[in-house]
Structure 1
Amino acid sequence: MWFDEGQKQEEKSKTIWQGKLNWLNEYENNFGSEVFVKSNITTPSNRLQKPRKRVEGSARISNSSPQNEHYRSEITGLWWRERKRKKQRQNVQERAKSDDSKQRRNIQENARINQTDNQVNPKVINLSTIDLSNNEVNLLSKGLKFTPTPNGNKAEHQTDIKEFCRKLRLSEIFHKDEEAQTTEDMPLVRNKTGWNPPKSKDKVLEEVIQSLKEYPTDSNASIKGNLSKNSKTALKTLLDNTSLIIKEADKGGAVVCMDKKYYRDKILEMLSDTSYYESIDEHADSRTQRLIHDTINKYGKGLMKEEKDYLLNFEYTTSYFYGLPKIHKSKIIADELKKQNSEYIKVPIPDDVPFRPIVGGPNSVTQRLSHFLDIILKPFCEEVPSFIRDDLDFLNYLPEQVEENSTLVTFDVISLYTNIPHDLGLEAVRFWIEKIPGKIETRFKIAFILKSLQIILQNNVFYFDGRFYVQKKGTAMGTRVAPTYATLVLGYLEETLYNNIKHRYSSEFASYLRLNWKRFLDDCFLILNKKINALEFLQELNKLHPSIQFTCSENDVIMPSLDILVKKSGNSIKTDMYCNADARVY
Structure 2
Amino acid sequence: MGSERELLPATIGRPGGFSNPLWILGSRYSVATAGCSGSRYENYKSKNFPPLTLNHYVDVFVQLVTKEFERIPRNRASDNLTRVQRRALIDLGHLDDIVIKPSDKGGNVVLWPRSMYEKEASRQLRDNVCYKRLTFNPLSKYKQELAAILELGVEEGVITQKQFSYLLPEHPAVATLYLLPKIHKGLENPPGRPIVAGNNSLSEPICRYIDHFLKPIVESLPSYLRDTTDILRRLDGIQLDQDALLVTCDVEALYTSIRHADGLEAVEKFLLMTDFEPETCEFILNLLRFALTHNFFLFGDLLYLQIQGTAMGAACAPSYANCFLGLWERRIFMLEPPALIEKVSLWGRFIDDILFVWHGSIDELGSFMDQLNNNNYNIKLTYKYGRTNMEFLDVLFNIESDGYISSNVYRKKTSTNSLLHATSSHPKPLISNIPVGQFLRMKRICSSDTFFEEQAKDLTNRFKERGYRQQDISKAYSRAKNTPRNNLLMQPKQKNPDNQGATEKSKGTCSEHRSSQE
Q: Give the TM-score range, shorter chain.
A: 0.5 to 0.7
**Change in CA separation of 1:492 and 1:579 when aligned onto 2, cut-off 3 Å:** same
Distance, in Å, in 2 between the alignment partners of 1:544 and 1:182 is 36
Higher relative contact order structure (alpha carbons within 8 Å, sequence separation ≥ 6): 2
Distance, in Å, in 2 between the alignment partners of 1:503 and 1:425 is 22
Distance, in Å, in 1 between the alignment partners of 2:329 and 2:120 is 36
Q: How far off is 1:298 after superposition? A: 2.6
SS in 1 for 2:399: strand
From 372, 379, 382, give the equivalent of 1:548.
Answer: 379
1:13 maps to what in 2? Answer: none
Q: What is the identity percentage for the equivalent residue pairs of Structure 1 and Structure 2? A: 29
The letter of the residue matching 2:140 is: S
SS in 2 for 1:320: strand
**Change in CA separation of 1:259 and 1:525 when aligned onto 2, cut-off 3 Å:** closer
From 237, 259, 262, give the equivalent of 1:424.
Answer: 262
Matches within 5 A, 1:89-238: 183=10, 186-189=38-41, 190-193=43-46, 218-220=74-76, 223=78, 225-238=79-92
Instruction: Confirm or deny: 8 A CA contact 1:456 1:476 kept in the other structure.
Output: no
1:386 maps to what in 2? Answer: 223
Does structure 1 residue 488 correspond to structure 2 residue 294?
no
Residues 265-292 of structure 1: CA deviation (Å, up to 9, x unaligned): 4423432222221111443122221111
Instruction: Confirm or deny: 8 A CA contact 2:258 2:377 kept in the other structure.
Output: no
**Change in CA separation of 1:321 and 1:549 when aligned onto 2, cut-off 3 Å:** same
Distance, in Å, in 2 between the alignment partners of 1:502 and 1:421 is 22
SS in 1 for 2:177: strand
1:459 maps to what in 2? Answer: 294
Q: How far off is 1:479 after superposition? A: 0.9
SS in 2 for 1:540: helix
**Change in CA separation of 1:453 and 1:195 when aligned onto 2, cut-off 3 Å:** closer
Residues 482-536 of structure 1: CA deviation (Å, up to 9, x unaligned): 0000001001000111136756347xx38x64xx210000000012213583212
Distance, in Å, in 2 between the alignment partners of 1:484 and 1:465 is 29
Instruction: Confirm or deny: 8 A CA contact 1:187 1:307 kept in the other structure.
Output: no
Does structure 1 residue 537 correspond to structure 2 residue 375?
no
SS in 2 for 1:437: coil
1:377 maps to what in 2? Answer: 214
Distance, in Å, in 1 between the alignment partners of 2:265 and 2:105 is 34
- Over alpha carbons, which structure has the higher Rg? 1
From 146, 163, 174, give the equivalent of 1:307.
Answer: 163
1:583 maps to what in 2? Answer: 415
From 347, 352, 355, give the equivalent of 1:517.
Answer: 347
Question: Could you say what the CA RMSD is over the residues aligned between the two structures, in angstroms?
Answer: 3.0
From 466, 469, 474, give the equivalent of 2:304.
Answer: 469
Residues 355-400 of structure 1: CA deviation (Å, up to 9, x unaligned): 3222112211011111101101111113311011111111222152
- Output the TM-score relative to the length of structure 1: 0.56
Does structure 1 residue 572 correspond to structure 2 residue 425?
no
From 247, 250, 254, give the equivalent of 1:409.
Answer: 247
Distance, in Å, in 2 between the alignment partners of 1:314 and 1:194 is 9
Residues 305-334 of structure 1: CA deviation (Å, up to 9, x unaligned): 32222112443111111123344545xx56
Count of residues in Structure 1 that have an aligned counterpart in Structure 2? 361
Instruction: Confirm or deny: 8 A CA contact 1:413 1:523 kept in the other structure.
Output: yes
Instruction: Confirm or deny: 8 A CA contact 2:295 2:305 kept in the other structure.
Output: yes
Instruction: Confirm or deny: 8 A CA contact 1:191 1:309 kept in the other structure.
Output: no
- Output the TM-score relative to the length of structure 2: 0.63
Distance, in Å, in 2 between the alignment partners of 1:293 and 1:287 is 10
SS in 2 for 1:456: helix
Runs (5+) with no aligned partner, structure 1: 1-177, 197-212, 335-351
Q: How far off is 1:195 after superposition? A: 12
Instruction: Confirm or deny: 8 A CA contact 2:322 2:351 kept in the other structure.
Output: yes
Residues 105-151 of structure 1: CA deviation (Å, up to 9, x unaligned): xxxxxxxxxxxxxxxxxxxxxxxxxxxxxxxxxxxxxxxxxxxxxxx
1:297 maps to what in 2? Answer: 151
2:393 maps to what in 1? Answer: 562
Instruction: Confirm or deny: 8 A CA contact 1:460 1:476 kept in the other structure.
Output: yes
**Change in CA separation of 1:585 and 1:319 when aligned onto 2, cut-off 3 Å:** farther
Residues 196-224 of structure 1: CA deviation (Å, up to 9, x unaligned): 9xxxxxxxxxxxxxxxx9x9852256x4x
In terms of mean alpha carbon deviation, does 271-280 or 413-422 score higher? 271-280
1:396 maps to what in 2? Answer: 233
